[in-house]
Amino acid sequence: MAQHEAKFIKTTAREREDAPDPYAPPPPPGGPGGPGHDPHEPPRPAGSAKNKKKAKKKKSGLYYVMMWFGLVVIGAAVIIGITMLPKAKDAVVAVTSRAMNSGDDEDDAEAEAAAADSEGDAEGETEGVAEVEQIEIPVEVQTEEPDEEELLESQPAAMPEGVKNIPAPPEVDIGTPVMETVASGDEWVVHKMAPQETVDQVAYRYGVKPGMLRMWNGVASDKDKLRRGARLKVKAQRIPPPRRRAEYIVQPGDTWQNIASHFGIDSRALRQQNWEASKNFYAGVALTLWIDPLVYYSIKYDPADPTSDDPVKSIRRGAVGVGPPQNGRLINGVQIPEGEGYTRRMMPSSYGTTHAVSTLLVALRDFEQQWPYEPDLVLGSMSVRHGGPLEGHVSHQSGRDLDVRLPLDASVPPWFPVQPHRVDYKALWFLFKSLADTGEITIIFLDYEIQKQLYKTAAKLGVPEEERRAMIQWPRGQAAHRGLVRHARGHDRHFHVRFRCGPYETECVERGSAAEGG
């Protein structure tokens, strides 16, 4: 009986092995029971050599696929690591510098805003620290060639035939204009558009962002000018006096340029407003002007004296900036005059605002008195005559930015390229001090490694640590918002100084954050 049961169990197990798998896929055509299958052909053993070869080939293919996939993943990880390493380093530097300065009591809000808005300003930028192309100040002077527009605007008005006397222009009375401040910052005013006035200009006048002004009034982002007389509602931060309409009779010898400069208005806007007169410009023609009272007041009651020996007093008034340094323009730009102790290399871009050029001359005169530097300082680009984009730069658009070649030691020939070991760091310190003492500088951009040597030189000169820290960002990290002098890549052969807006520049934006896009 036991033998029979054992046989029964063995037979039952074999039957179970031979039973079809209910979860197996259906047999392929030609397989057992399929069309073309020879019922007399013995079944192929599961472990035959052919099947083993196929399984081995399948495993080999899968192995190569997994290997290539792994290599791709590793390569991608390496590329991402290389790309992110500089940003991670900058982040660590930023966190470290903030931790180091967390207990610093210096109140540097204005310089901090300037650095944050145009970090490095600079001529090309990324997040955090500016990536810039090195701007070379040439050894040879770049001459300026007048364009057709400038030639047209400098043509004097002739006397018409048969006319002997031209009536004098009427007096323009503007009283004493005042810029009103708004304490609460939530006072709504209505602005009436003047001819040739832009939406951005209106925003700058009232101290608000152009984007906000457009949103309040439903003005499209690509629409810059509105019809004359259009009204805009503004949540003003300040309230300037409105533009004044005036009449002017062209006098013999007048040019578009000197009329515009006399009243502090843009020469191109003046011609566009009086386009009929621009076709036949001669003495006796009546022109319509739209005057900014504050600008005109500064010209009329603080006139330049061309005969003065003081270059500051001889600077023409009425050159003003519009908008921020990275997205602005210059009205009636005044050229840096020829003078002792410095040389101008970029004549086509040597124009600035009256306030910036005057401040520069004051600082250069003070530097000459403070330190006996024999070679001439080399001045680079400021702005072109009408401002706007300047090739190779992001800023330098509103007449308030200037590049200056780092002063070389007196023993170094002036045509030698600037290298850190050739810089006269004592002269550089006193030059920065003269600029800072004007109280009209918002920021100076200089490479961090150059700052290090400057800081050590100032210490050797006996400058107190408190004064050194107020002037120079080093050693608190490239991302530290401390010191008048800040790091910017590409500024190891020249420094970049930015001047404040003048007290009468109603449309000048001192900080980039006041402009759309900051």
Encode pLDDT of 470-506 as tens digits: 999 999 999 999 999 999 999 999 999 999 999 999 9
**What is the model's pLDDT at position 161?**
85
Asked, for residue 501, whether it belongs to a domain, the answer is yes
Residue 402 corresponds to which amino acid?
A: L
Q: At what angle do helices 256-263 and 293-301 cross, to 10 degrees?
A: 100
Q: Which of 40-54, 124-138, 447-461 has the lowest mean pLDDT?
A: 124-138
Is the distance from CB of 328 to CB of 387 less than 8 angstroms? Answer: yes
Percent of the chain predicted with pLDDT > 90 = 58
- Regarding whether 486 and 380 lie in a shared domain, the answer is yes
What pLDDT was estimated at residue 133? Answer: 44
The answer to whether 199 and 214 have CB atoms below 8 angstroms apart is yes
What's the residue count for the chain?
518
pLDDT confidence of residue 104: 43
Rounded CA gap, 386 and 397, in Å? 9
Per-residue pLDDT at 53: 56
What is the amino acid identity at position 321?
A: G
Angle at 217 between CA 211 and CA 222, to 5 degrees: 50
Residue 45 lies in a domain: no
Tokens standing for 159?
A: 């006397």
Percent of the chain with pLDDT over 70: 75
- Distances in Å between the Cα of 456 and the Cα atoms of 451, 468, 474, 482 are 9, 9, 10, 17
Indicate if 482 and 364 belong to the same structural domain.
yes
Helix axes 425-437, 354-370, angle to 10 degrees: 130
SS (H, E, C) 85-113: HHHHHHHHHHHHHHHHCCCCCCCCHHHHH
CATH number of domain containing 357: 3.30.1380.10
Q: How far apart are CA 266 and CA 330, in angstroms?
A: 9
Nearest to 204 by CA among 329, 115, 359, 289: 329
| Mean pLDDT over each residue of the chain, to the nearest integer | 81
Q: What pLDDT digit, counting tens, does each position of 324-339 carry? A: 999 999 999 999 999 9
Do 313 and 448 belong together in one domain?
A: yes
Question: What per-residue string of b and e applies to 153-186 under the rule 16 or more CB within 10 Å gives b?
Answer: beeebeeeeeeeebeebeebeeeebeeeeeeeee
Query: Is 464 found in the same domain as 346?
Result: yes
Q: Which residue has the tokens 């509602």?
A: 233
Single-letter amino acid code for the residue at 102: S
* R_g over Cα of the chain: 37
Give SS3 for 492. Answer: coil
Examine the fold and report which residue of 222, 239, 256 is the final residue of a domain before the chain moves on.
Answer: 239
* Bridging pattern class, strands 377-379 and 342-344: parallel
CA nearest neighbour of 407 among 433, 426, 382: 426
Cis before 475 (ω within 30): yes
**Is residue 333 packed enough to be buried (19+ CB in 10 Å), middle (13-18) or exposed (0-12)?**
buried
Confidence of residue 184 (pLDDT cuts 50, 70, 90): confident
Task: Please indicate, yes or no, whether residues 318 and 413 belong to a single structural domain of this protein.
Answer: yes
* Domain-located, residue 455: yes
**194, 214, 239: which is the final residue of a domain?**
239
Looking up tokens 């005169």 gives 365
In contact, 331 and 401? CB cutoff 8 Å: no
- Predicted confidence at residue 390, as pLDDT, reads 94
Contacts of 504 (CB under 8 A, 6+ apart): 294, 295, 297, 298, 320
The reply to whether 316 and 441 lie within a common domain is: yes
For residue 66, is pLDDT > 90?
Answer: no
Q: Are residues 388 and 456 in the same domain?
A: yes
Are residues 490 and 350 located together in one domain of the fold?
A: yes
**In total, how many domains does the chain have?**
2
Q: Does residue 485 form part of some domain?
A: yes
Strand-pair category, 485-486 with 441-445: parallel
Return the structure tokens found at 114: 């300037």
Handedness of CA 452, 454, 459, 463 (dihedral sign): negative
CB 489 within 8 A of CB 130: yes
The answer to whether the CB of 116 falls within 8 A of the CB of 481 is yes
Residue 420 has pLDDT above 50, yes or no: yes
Look up the pTM and report it.
Answer: 0.75
Angle at 405 between CA 401 and CA 407, to 5 degrees: 130
Residues 133 and 190 in one domain: no
In whole angstroms, give the CA distance from residue 512 to residue 432.
23
Look at 17 and 72; give whichever has higher pLDDT.
Answer: 72
| 152 within domain boundaries | no
* pLDDT digits 0-9 by tens, 237-283: 999 999 999 999 999 999 999 999 999 999 999 999 998 888 889 99
The reply to whether 353 and 496 lie within a common domain is yes
Q: Which domain holds residue 226?
A: 180-239
pLDDT top residue among 121 and 200: 200
Among 442, 509, 500, smallest CA distance to 202 is for 509
Tell me the pLDDT tens digit for each residue of 76-113: 776 666 555 544 544 444 444 444 444 444 444 444 44
Q: Where are the alpha helices (DSSP H) in 101-126?
A: 109-117
| 375-398: pLDDT as tens digits | 999 999 999 999 999 998 999 999
**Is residue 32 predicted with pLDDT exceeding 70?**
no
Residue 17 lies in a domain: no
Domain boundary pick from 198, 221, 239: 239
Nearest-CA neighbor of 336 among 431, 401, 417, 397?
Answer: 401
Give pLDDT tens digits for 104-160: 444 444 444 454 444 434 333 333 334 344 566 776 777 777 788 888 899 999 888
- What is the C-alpha separation between 296 and 86, in angstroms, rounded? 50
223 within some domain: yes
Residue 239: which H helix or E strand, with range?
strand 238-239
State the pLDDT confidence band at 192, using cuts at 50, 70 and 90.
Answer: very high
Residue 40 lies in a domain: no
209 and 336 part of one domain: no
Distance CA 177, CA 240 (A): 8
CATH number for the domain including 185?
3.10.350.10
Verify that 301 and 410 share a domain, yes or no: yes
